[in-house]
């Protein structure tokens, strides 16, 4: 009888061993590669400011609110369209984001696009300048015999960008009137061809005044004196009252 019990016990132990092995094998986790190690995270603070300056007036600096920023990942061949993070400036002109270590293409609204390397916490300071400047050279070709600068007289304006980065001429004023390039007008409003072969008539929207001007580049264009302007030549020759409205963006790092 004891022999039977011994055999029964051995059978039970073997069965338990088999069941235990099946349970362990059946519940062992599926092999998988380890999770990739996350890169360090860094905090980027962006300060955005609007700077306005008119001729003979003090400079005014205010926080730029609601300015959108976007960080795009940088791949093996350059920037991608994969968005890492986005945010917007608050009432104080401040933006704070946290991104992984690496290289990014940073879009600050329609102000500028910058390539930045993130390897530590730092602060970017972005100023958008909206200023008035005087042209370098002004020539007035009077069409009338009177000693006045009057409507339809032609003005040639020249300017050189003395900065080491791009600026944008977006408005040209004369005696509180906005000038438009002579290329935008023809006698009687007849259509003329633009640079791309399309047609536009007088004061067409496709005809831009000024535009982007690269570092140290020169610019010149012809304009008609607007209707309603009449300035004695003695005044005009010493004070043209012509100003260029220019904007540009400066981005600096404050570590």
Whether residues 207 and 193 fall in one domain: yes
Whether residues 138 and 238 fall in one domain: yes
Look at residue 194 in the predicted model and tell me its pLDDT. 42
Look at residue 193 in the predicted model and tell me its pLDDT. 44
Whether residues 71 and 105 fall in one domain: yes
In Å, what is the CA distance from 52 to each residue of 78, 214, 237? Answer: 35, 21, 28
Domain boundary among 69, 104, 130: 130
Q: Would you say residue 30 lies in a domain?
A: no
Look at residue 87 in the predicted model and tell me its pLDDT. 96
Domain coverage including residue 88: 41-130
Contact predicate 75/60, CB 8 Å: no
Domain boundary among 130, 163, 189: 130
Look at residue 186 in the predicted model and tell me its pLDDT. 56
Contact predicate 99/82, CB 8 Å: no
Contact predicate 138/61, CB 8 Å: no
CATH at 119: 2.60.40.1120
Q: How many other C-beta atoms can be found within 10 angstroms of the C-beta atom of residue 18?
A: 10
Number of domain units in the chain: 2
Residue-by-residue pLDDT tens, the chain, 255 positions: 555 556 666 655 666 666 555 555 445 455 565 555 667 899 999 999 999 999 889 999 999 999 999 999 998 888 999 999 999 999 999 999 999 999 999 999 999 999 999 999 999 999 999 999 989 988 877 666 566 777 778 888 999 999 988 999 989 988 778 888 887 765 544 444 444 444 434 444 456 778 899 999 999 999 888 777 777 766 666 666 788 999 999 999 986
């Amino acid at each position: 009888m004891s022999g039977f019990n011994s055999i029964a016990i051995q059978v039970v132990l073997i069965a338990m061993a088999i069941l235990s092995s099946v349970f362990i094998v059946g519940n062992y986790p599926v092999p998988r590669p380890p999770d990739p190690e996350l890169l360090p995270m860094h905090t980027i603070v962006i300060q955005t400011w609007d700077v306005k300056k008119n001729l003979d007036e003090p400079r005014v600096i205010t926080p730029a609110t609601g300015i959108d920023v976007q960080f795009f990942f940088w791949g093996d061949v350059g920037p991608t369209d994969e968005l890492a993070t986005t945010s917007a400036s608050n009432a104080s002109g401040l933006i704070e984001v946290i991104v992984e270590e690496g290289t990014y293409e940073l879009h600050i609204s329609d102000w500028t696009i910058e390539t930045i390397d993130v390897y530590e916490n730092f602060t970017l300071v972005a100023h958008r300048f909206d200023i008035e400047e005087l042209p370098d050279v002004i020539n007035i070709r009077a069409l009338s015999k009177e000693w006045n600068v009057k409507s339809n007289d032609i003005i040639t304006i020249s300017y050189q960008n003395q900065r080491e980065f791009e600026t944008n001429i977006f408005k040209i004023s004369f005696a509180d009137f906005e000038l438009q390039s002579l290329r935008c007008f023809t006698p009687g409003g007849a259509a003329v061809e633009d640079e791309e072969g399309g047609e536009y008539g007088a004061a067409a929207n496709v005809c831009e005044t000024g535009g982007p001007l690269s570092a140290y580049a020169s610019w010149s264009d012809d304009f008609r004196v607007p209707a309603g302007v009449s300035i004695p030549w003695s005044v005009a020759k010493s004070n043209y009252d012509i100003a260029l409205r220019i904007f540009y963006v400066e981005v600096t790092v404050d570590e």
